[in-house]
């Protein structure tokens, strides 16, 4: 099975995360450009969909393939087989974003050098930290005025509680951006006018001790600053420790400018060397090694095809071990059934294609006739494993949704339940109440707009939506507590999800503290491990 090991060893599966506008799309494009997966930058599909809210989204519905394509991209570079998982960072921020991170072995965090850490970077980082996956930082837009690199790395350390190891160090920024000092080689890569284009660029290299050349290149002031910086970095910074990187405790930091291509290829090369091949995964039966012969995978995302004529769904699976073969029978653990996966597809940069085989680390999409739920495991019948479920993340936006036409009860209930099963929204109800009015929880407002749109277009139901003042939800761990007698503050409420789990929703942090103080013994959890 030498080729199985070889194939898996050369796989790198990672997610790119960022706050909107930090440059995630641009960096992804440039990575694809270097991988030869696209001819010209500017071709990453789905950018328009990532950009804008529901009107564009509805338009896009007709070409649903586009946004599916954009969610996973596979390409080859330097002998590596790379799977990039896209995490929407815009208004369509949703639970999908969190779940996608569950399928990655590492994350690249793009930060705007003028802005530093922003709110969505924080949220996404939290999920990566929960999984202890390696986090690489690309500090972008050095061709614009930027904060000091010291300030930026310090912010990462203090806010995220991780160490940072700058792999390179910027020389100036904005109009004065002269390039970066590469710490591994001790060379300076110079940034020039040629970088304003979008083609592949080989930066010119200079040695740090070539004082004369450097004085000409960056001027004596910047040269002296650089010398001091390098001394400081080598003397006072963290040491590079691969083990710590792999544990997610030390983040290698790269400075560059994705738009001008500067620093992108050195980043890619170094990233591929440092980041891990597919990692072992926890299952109920024990830890599963990716190099095991038998195939196993878990579903991390289900995307309903918006084509009304077909109403099909695609389940995205991350392969965790072994090799997938198209015509073999596999076992769906939660359904307890043997099946052949229909039309297994892999997403390339610009298209998707039916595949015959795929390896641990890869992501495949299969048609789902309604069998799968998020977190399900597919494996061989002979080697049954059950992967740990994907946690349910706490929604932050709540609305009460009811149907306008009281006659449409069945369609309303069916639509709400099916859309919730896909994992596109979370639904709750008041204990003892029916489905007359459903409380919907989401992490991004676009999810609510999409829900309304889909209820109407797919189920023929018009709904009314009312915002609710809740922002936090906590799962109640206690099994033997009479929740109807809880002492809760205003803007707090007891609800249940449709699996019958008890939850409390709160209008603010203070209300959570109140509930905990006034109800001794009450145990609340922020994530629900499924």
Q: Which residues bind ligand G4P (CB under 6 A)?
A: 18, 20-26, 89, 140-141, 143-144, 257-259
Specify the residue, 24 or 493, whose C-beta has the smaller distance to ligand G4P. Answer: 24
Closest distance between ligand G4P and the C-beta of residue 18, in Å? Answer: 5
Closest distance between ligand G4P and the C-beta of residue 271, in Å? Answer: 17
Specify the residue, 140 or 426, whose C-beta has the smaller distance to ligand G4P. Answer: 140
Closest distance between ligand G4P and the C-beta of residue 171, in Å? Answer: 16
Strand partners, 352: 347
Chain CA centroid to CA 197, Å = 29
| Strand ordering across the sheet containing 11-18 | 72-77, 80-86, 11-18, 106-112, 135-140, 250-255, 163-166
Nearest Cα residue to 204 out of 213, 221, 191, 222:
191
Specify the residue, 20 or 219, whose C-beta has the smaller distance to ligand G4P. Answer: 20
Find where tokens 């930082």 sit.
137
Strand partners, 318: 298, 363
Specify the residue, 112 or 449, whose C-beta has the smaller distance to ligand G4P. Answer: 112
Closest distance between ligand G4P and the C-beta of residue 264, in Å? Answer: 9
Find where tokens 């409380």 sit.
439
Nearest Cα residue to 439 out of 407, 405, 399:
399
Closest distance between ligand G4P and the C-beta of residue 191, in Å? Answer: 11
Specify the residue, 153 or 257, whose C-beta has the smaller distance to ligand G4P. Answer: 257
Closest distance between ligand G4P and the C-beta of residue 279, in Å? Answer: 26
Closest distance between ligand G4P and the C-beta of residue 122, in Å? Answer: 15
Segment holding 265, helix H or strand E: helix 264-274
Closest distance between ligand G4P and the C-beta of residue 141, in Å? Answer: 4
Specify the residue, 125 or 412, whose C-beta has the smaller distance to ligand G4P. Answer: 125
**Cβ-proximal residues to 490 (8 Å cutoff; 6+ apart), any chain:** 507, 511
Nearest Cα residue to 300 out of 372, 393, 360:
372
As to burial, measured by CB atoms within 10 angstroms (0-12 exposed, 13-18 middle, 19+ buried), residue 407 is exposed
Specify the residue, 127 or 440, whose C-beta has the smaller distance to ligand G4P. Answer: 127
Specify the residue, 22 or 101, whose C-beta has the smaller distance to ligand G4P. Answer: 22
Q: Are 143 and 257 in contact (CB under 8 A)?
A: yes
Kindly state the greatest CA–CA separation across the chain.
83
Segment holding 50, helix H or strand E: helix 47-51
Specify the residue, 46 or 389, whose C-beta has the smaller distance to ligand G4P. Answer: 46
Percentages of the chain per state (helix, strand, coil), in multiples of 5: 30, 30, 40
Closest distance between ligand G4P and the C-beta of residue 347, in Å? Answer: 18
């Amino acid at each position: 099975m030498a080729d199985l090991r070889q194939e898996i060893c050369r796989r790198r599966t990672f997610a790119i995360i960022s706050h909107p506008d930090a440059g995630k799309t641009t960096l992804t494009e440039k990575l694809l450009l270097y991988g030869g997966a696209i001819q010209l930058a500017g071709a990453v599909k789905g950018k328009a969909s990532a950009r804008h809210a529901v009107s564009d989204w509805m338009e896009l519905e007709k070409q649903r393939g586009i946004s599916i394509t954009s969610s996973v991209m596979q390409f080859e570079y330097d002998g590596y087989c790379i799977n990039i998982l896209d995490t929407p960072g815009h208004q369509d921020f949703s639970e999908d974003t969190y779940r996608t991170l569950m399928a990655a072995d590492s994350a690249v965090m793009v930060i705007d050098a003028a802005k530093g850490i922003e709110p969505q970077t924080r949220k996404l980082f939290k999920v990566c930290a929960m999984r202890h996956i390696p986090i690489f930082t690309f500090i972008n837009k050095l061709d614009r005025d930027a904060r000091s690199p010291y300030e930026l790395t310090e912010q990462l350390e203090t806010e995220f509680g991780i160490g940072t190891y700058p792999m390179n160090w910027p020389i100036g920024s904005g109009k004065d951006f002269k390039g970066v000092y590469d710490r591994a080689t001790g060379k300076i890569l110079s940034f020039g006018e040629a970088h304003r284009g979008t083609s592949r660029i080989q930066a010119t290299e200079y040695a740090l001790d070539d004082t004369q050349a450097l004085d000409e290149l960056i001027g004596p002031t910047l040269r002296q600053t650089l010398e001091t910086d390098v001394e400081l970095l080598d003397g006072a910074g963290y040491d590079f420790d691969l083990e710590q990187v792999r544990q997610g405790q030390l983040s290698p930091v790269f400075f560059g400018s994705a738009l001008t291509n500067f620093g992108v290829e050195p980043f890619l090369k170094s990233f591929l060397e440092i980041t891990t091949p597919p990692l072992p995964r926890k299952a109920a039966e024990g830890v599963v090694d990716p190099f095991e012969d038998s195939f196993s995978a878990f579903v991390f995302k289900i995307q309903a095809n918006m084509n009304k004529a077909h109403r099909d769904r695609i389940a995205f699976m991350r392969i965790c071990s072994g090799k997938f073969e198209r015509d073999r029978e596999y076992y769906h653990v939660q359904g307890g059934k043997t099946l052949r996966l229909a039309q297994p597809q892999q997403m390339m940069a610009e298209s998707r294609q039916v595949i015959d085989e795929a390896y641990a680390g890869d992501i495949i999409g299969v048609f789902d006739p309604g069998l799968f739920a998020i977190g399900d495991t597919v494996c061989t019948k002979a080697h049954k494993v059950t992967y740990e479920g994907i946690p349910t993340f706490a929604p932050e936006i709540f609305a009460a949704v009811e149907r306008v036409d009281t006659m449409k009860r069945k369609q309303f209930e069916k639509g709400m339940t099916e859309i919730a099963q896909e994992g596109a929204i979370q639904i709750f109800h008041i204990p003892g109440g029916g489905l007359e009015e459903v409380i919907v929880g989401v992490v991004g407002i676009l999810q609510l707009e999409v829900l309304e749109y889909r209820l109407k277009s797919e189920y023929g139901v018009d709904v009314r939506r009312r915002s609710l003042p809740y922002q936090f939800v906590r799962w109640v761990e206690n099994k033997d507590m009479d929740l109807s007698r809880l002492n809760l503050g205003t803007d707090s409420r007891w609800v249940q999800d449709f699996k019958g789990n008890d939850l409390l929703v709160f209008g603010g942090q203070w209300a959570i503290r109140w509930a905990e103080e006034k109800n001794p013994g009450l145990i609340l959890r922020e994530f629900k491990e499924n």
